[in-house]
Amino acid sequence: MPRRAGQRRVVRAGVIGAAVVAFMGAVAGAAAAACPGRPDALGTARVMEVDPKGLQVGTKSFPATLPLKPREVVLTFDDGPWPATTAAILDALKAECVRATFFLIGQNAKLRPELVKRTLAEGHTVAHHSMTHPAATLAKIPFEAAVKEIEQGIAADERAAYGASGPAPRVPFFRFPGFASTPELLAYLDRTGIGVFGADLWASDWNVQAPQAQLDLVLKRLDAAGGGIVLFHDTKAQTAAMIPAFLRALAARGYGVVHIVPKGAGNGG
């Protein structure tokens, strides 16, 4: 069950290593003003550098979340890249000068490297979500097979984004398919320096619903939580149709978007 906003714990520097987060960028007004031709754009309020070592955040899965201020959100998208819908979401984010984090499935990245490269070129964070998103989840397959899923997915994402993969991922952020982790897999990711993201709230966009119904649902949840890491899927047409209105609603309600990047990665762009 989700924790109430007042009960949420945030990750402290001593928990995930010294200087977990460095604040960069400008306030939301300055970010919006930097959006060409769009002085009223939502913009990206600030960039948060996150140390992946020991990182386990998102109150749907873990006790702690990122150290966000009230009415700050981190936008995340799972399962892409996907034809049409990922491009439409990228268009909407670009129109509002907003940066998000995309947790890619390796086989989708391999099939659509042009969308991965576009995501990277437009300043978003490219993170990882396994190679095939197995229906059984990583928690229900043998440990060695789950590790292979993770490592092959990261390698495929990196080859699509950068042309080659290395001994360590450029963005050591991972989200478990279905949020289905195990203590053994969490320990493996910790040993390899890969941070794990859950979410604080989601749009339930795996359920078929009209874009307006989805918008109403996620805004209701967001207002109740007061902010947090939000999960969408860029494979869903209803989400792609809803995102422009969602971004405008964030601006109207006074929310600020925080872009997350690995510690030492600068502004991620």
Assign 29 to helix, strand or coil. helix
Among the residue ranges 113-117, 209-213, 230-234, 261-265, the one predicted with the least confidence is: 261-265
**pLDDT value of residue 37:** 75
Q: How far is CA 128 from the centre of its chain?
A: 9
Contact 230, 200 (CB under 8 A): yes
pLDDT tier at 14, thresholds 50, 70, 90: very low
175 and 197 Cβ atoms separated by less than 8 Å: yes
pTM here is: 0.88
pLDDT for position 151: 98
Name the active-site residue from 124, 128, 133, 233.
233
Q: Would the pLDDT of 16 be above 50?
A: no
Angle between helices 237-253 and 211-225 (to 10 degrees): 40
Higher-confidence residue of 18 and 114: namely: 114
For residues 57 and 210, give the distance between their C-alpha atoms in angstroms, rounded to a whole number.
Answer: 30
Residue type, 113: P
Is 124 a catalytic site residue? no
Q: Is 129 a catalytic residue?
A: no
Give the confidence band of 149 by pLDDT, cuts at 50, 70, 90. Answer: very high
Q: Please give the pLDDT value at position 142.
A: 97
Return the higher-pLDDT residue of 15 and 240.
Answer: 240
Looking at the chain, the whole-number percentage of residues with pLDDT higher than 90 is 82
pLDDT tens, residue by residue, 178-231 = 999 999 999 999 999 999 999 999 999 999 999 999 999 999 999 999 999 999
The pLDDT of 58-66, averaged and rounded, is: 97
The pair of three-digit structure tokens given for residue 137, joined into one six-digit string: 């989840």
Contacts of 208 (CB under 8 A, 6+ apart): 238
Catalytic residue among 51, 78, 157, 200: 78
* pLDDT for position 17: 31
pLDDT tens per residue across span 119-143 = 999 999 999 999 999 999 999 999 9
pLDDT of residue 199: 98
pLDDT at 35: 81
